């Protein structure tokens, strides 16, 4: 009997977790020529963590660097868990920011420790993170978790999807793409305090 012939394009059905291009992801699939990657909270590093002060007064949660090679479209889900009982309170608005690394050895800043006020719209100027190579993934003043009417602690979710657009520089015209091998995400509350009773988790889906 002749050797089995391997179907054309069969590699599209293989998970590629073992190859360098798929490092770190919780799940990687190639379906019909399209790359799909998923990073759960444990992989992003934001998994039930508190917002911290970076030393420059910026309150944020910072993810691990993710290998988003092959992904230009993405969706992020931010989860907030409040342990306040009764009556979890509203949380100040946040912006999800994306940051690339110049080289793997580069230590990127998490806040504008050395930057000043950039000439960008107020909603972004407030955070001053453009000088740190960050791009906000949504326009406007950000997303705010509302107060919960319940009497117990609660879990709430924010979904933020995005894809490439025509053109854009940091801030005024966000045009996020997520194609690099060293991309991390920052849930930024600016300089506004967040109660220690609120913890956050981040999941990312990416696709070509």
Site for other proteins, rule CB under 8 A: 2-3, 5-12, 14, 16, 19-22, 30-31, 33-35, 69-70, 72, 98-103, 108-109, 113-119, 130-135, 163-170, 172-173, 175-177, 179-181, 208
Q: Do 31 and 192 form a contact (C-beta atoms < 8 A)? A: no
List the structure tokens of 161: 């999807």
CB of 128 to other proteins, least distance (A): 8
Residue number, 2 or 55, with CB nearest to other proteins: 2
Residue number, 129 or 194, with CB nearest to other proteins: 129
CA 124 – CA 111 distance, rounded (Å): 13
Residue number, 44 or 69, with CB nearest to other proteins: 69
Vertex 30: Cα angle to 25 and 35 (nearest 5): 65
CB of 184 to other proteins, least distance (A): 12
Residue number, 37 or 80, with CB nearest to other proteins: 37
Phi and psi at 147, nearest 5°, equal -65, 150
CB of 67 to other proteins, least distance (A): 10
Burial class (CB in 10 A: 0-12, 13-18, 19+), 141: middle
Closest CA to 181 of 17, 27, 22: 22
Residue number, 108 or 195, with CB nearest to other proteins: 108
Half-sphere exposure at residue 59, Cβ-oriented, CA atoms within 13 angstroms: 18
Q: Do 202 and 80 form a contact (C-beta atoms < 8 A)? A: no
Q: Do 69 and 21 form a contact (C-beta atoms < 8 A)? A: yes
List the structure tokens of 44: 């992003």
Residue number, 2 or 149, with CB nearest to other proteins: 2
């Amino acid at each position: 009997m002749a050797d089995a012939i391997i179907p054309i394009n069969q590699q599209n059905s293989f998970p590629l977790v073992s190859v360098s291009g798929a490092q770190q992801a919780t799940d990687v699939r190639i379906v019909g020529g399209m790359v799909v990657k998923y990073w759960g909270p444990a992989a992003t590093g934001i998994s039930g963590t508190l917002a911290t002060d970076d030393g420059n007064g910026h309150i944020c949660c910072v993810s691990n660097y993710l290998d988003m090679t092959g992904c230009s479209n993405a969706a992020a889900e931010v989860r907030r868990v409040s342990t306040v009982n009764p009556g979890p309170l509203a949380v100040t608005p946040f912006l999800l920011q994306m940051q690339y690394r110049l080289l793997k050895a580069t230590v990127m800043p998490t806040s504008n420790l050395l930057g000043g006020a950039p000439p960008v719209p107020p909603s972004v100027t407030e955070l001053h993170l453009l000088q740190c190579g960050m791009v906000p993934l949504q326009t406007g003043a950000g997303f705010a978790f509302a107060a919960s009417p319940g009497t117990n602690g609660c879990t709430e979710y924010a979904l933020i999807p995005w894809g490439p657009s025509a053109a854009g520089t940091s801030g005024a015209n966000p045009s996020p793409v997520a194609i690099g091998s060293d991309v991390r995400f920052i849930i930024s509350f600016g300089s506004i305090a967040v109660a220690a009773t609120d913890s956050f988790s981040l999941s990312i889906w990416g696709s070509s």
